[in-house]
Amino acid sequence: MNIVVLMKQVPGTSSVGVDPTRGTLRREGVPAQTNPYDLHALEAALALKEQVGGTVTVVSMGPPQAEAVIREAYWMGADHGILLTDRVFAGADTLATAFTLSQALKTLEFDLIIAGMQSTDGDTAQVGPGVAEFLDIPHVSYVREIKGVAGPEVGAGTYPLPEGAARLTVTADLGDTLLIQDVCLPALITVTKDLNQPRLPSFKLRKAVADKPVSVMRAEDLPASPKPYYGLAGSATRVEKIFPPERTVVREIWEGEPDELASRLAVLLREVVGK
């Protein structure tokens, strides 16, 4: 089975400072990391490969330094890595990002695409399903269990699948319910942290893959090469302005001894709780 894992580099901390006068982020010196959900996606791919054979290819989009994500994936056991990096990709919203990734995927052979359920910086969960739509393949979001590959025949399914179709049996976490379903390949799934425990990077692999190349793809390498489709130009949304969050005006600040503060709090709580 040829599996592609979508991975993203995100800021390593959620406490990025904001310049109050310019309303912009202070990004300098903020460490980067691999989106934690994507490590679960990679683990799922590696486990499936161990089970049924095949290859694991990691695709990431970002600035040149996002290569670190692919390096980390190599240390965990990924076979190939592709970094989509080009100035024209910058400023992409989820629509343009999903489009760019889907263009790269059209140059690859794959049976299954796995992505993390969302990124910790954007928090949208939109790119995975968006990629599936651009590729016109089914997707299942929030997969918390992969029960099997080409599992037993479907008996009580709502509608029959084509006989002999390659498929995956997965459990999706819909919050109030768990939905167990067979999805025909090729397909895309996004995974939750409940799915597995990502393996640690292997020291042995780290030495072995030190010189392993990362393929770089730019806009001109993609099937739809006209630049207006990518990045900011290819985005349907525009950020009109950014501003520091509005906060409730401070009404009271209390200082003093713990006992005194506790008594005042008790009075306040009796008043506001259970009104």
Q: Determine if 22 is a binding residue for another protein (CB under 8 A).
A: no
Q: Determine if 243 is a binding residue for another protein (CB under 8 A).
A: yes
Segment 31-90, which members bind another protein (CB under 8 A)? none
Count, residues near another protein per rule CB under 8 A: 102
Interface with another protein (CB under 8 A), residue from 21, 29, 200, 251: 251
Residues whose CB falls within 8 Å of the CB of residue 171, separated by 6 or more in sequence, listed in order: 143, 144, 145, 147, 178, 179, 180
Segment 122-141, which members bind another protein (CB under 8 A)? 122-130, 132-134, 136-141
Binding mask 191-230 for another protein (x = CB under 8 A): --x------------------------------x-x-xxx
Residue recorded with tokens 């479907």 = 154
Interface with another protein (CB under 8 A), residue from 98, 112, 113, 191: 98
**Other Cβ atoms closer than 10 A to 205:** 15
**Other Cβ atoms closer than 10 A to 82:** 21
Q: Which pair of tokens denotes residue 263? A: 């008594």
Q: Which pair of tokens denotes residue 226? A: 């006209």
Interface with another protein (CB under 8 A), residue from 120, 149, 201, 212: 120
Residues whose CB falls within 8 Å of the CB of residue 251, separated by 6 or more in sequence, listed in order: none
To the nearest 10 degrees (0 to 180), the angle between helices 127-135 and 94-105 is: 50
Interface with another protein (CB under 8 A), residue from 158, 163, 164, 204: 158
Amino acid identity, residue 217?
Answer: M
Using CB under 8 A, which of the segments 39-47, 59-67, 79-87, 247-255 binds another protein? 247-255
Q: Nearest-CA neighbor of 8 among 46, 49, 47, 62?
A: 62
SS3 for 29? coil
Residues whose CB falls within 8 Å of the CB of residue 48, separated by 6 or more in sequence, listed in order: 1, 3, 54, 112, 146, 149
Q: Which is nearer to another protein, 54 or 122 (CB)?
A: 122
Segment 138-157, which members bind another protein (CB under 8 A)? 138-142, 154, 156-157
Q: How far is the CB of 208 from another protein (least distance, A)?
A: 31
Segment 168-187, which members bind another protein (CB under 8 A)? 169, 172-184, 187
Using CB under 8 A, which of the segments 47-55, 79-87, 199-207, 231-239 binds another protein? 231-239
SS3 for 247? coil
Q: Determine if 273 is a binding residue for another protein (CB under 8 A).
A: yes
Q: Which is nearer to another protein, 68 or 95 (CB)?
A: 95
- Report the distance separating Cα 44 and Cα 171, nearest Å: 13
Q: Determine if 240 is a binding residue for another protein (CB under 8 A).
A: yes
Q: Determine if 239 is a binding residue for another protein (CB under 8 A).
A: yes
Q: Determine if 255 is a binding residue for another protein (CB under 8 A).
A: yes
Determine the length of the chain.
Answer: 275
Q: Which is nearer to another protein, 47 or 95 (CB)?
A: 95
